């Protein structure tokens, strides 16, 4: 495990975190435009699951366990970017 791999994981997952915020912002606007709460919620749930599946396969670390340091560094950077973006 190299420092380059850790930095790549942090940058990649940070970018995916920002894309998640933008995607959820778009889905929230779309779901709020619908009159049916169940349909909007279903759309958001399907969107989150689809984004999770795609982002898990995009990252080159999908074969590692969750407790692997590269996976942990990426997950922490993803969560930090989402929290910081939502608080700003």
Distance CA 21, CA 13 (A): 12
Cβ(13)–Cβ(52) below 8 Å: no
Read off the pTM: 0.82
Residue 31: predicted pLDDT: 85
Residue 75: predicted pLDDT: 87
Residue 54: predicted pLDDT: 84
E-state strands within the chain = none
Within a 10 A sphere around the Cβ of 28, how many other Cβ atoms?
Answer: 14
Structure tokens at 15: 């970018």
CA 83 vs. chain centroid, Å, equals: 11
pLDDT single digits (tens) 37-78: 888 888 889 999 998 888 878 777 667 777 788 888 888 999
Residue 84: predicted pLDDT: 94
Distance CA 88, CA 39 (A): 29
């Amino acid at each position: 495990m190299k420092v380059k791999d850790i930095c790549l994981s942090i940058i990649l997952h940070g970018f995916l975190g920002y894309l998640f915020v933008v995607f959820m912002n778009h889905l929230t606007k779309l779901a709020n435009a619908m009159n049916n709460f169940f349909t909007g919620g279903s759309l958001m749930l399907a969107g989150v699951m689809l984004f999770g599946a795609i982002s898990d396969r995009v990252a080159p670390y999908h074969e590692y366990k969750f407790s692997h340091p590269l996976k942990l560094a990426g997950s922490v950077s993803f969560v930090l970017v989402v929290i910081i973006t939502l608080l700003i």
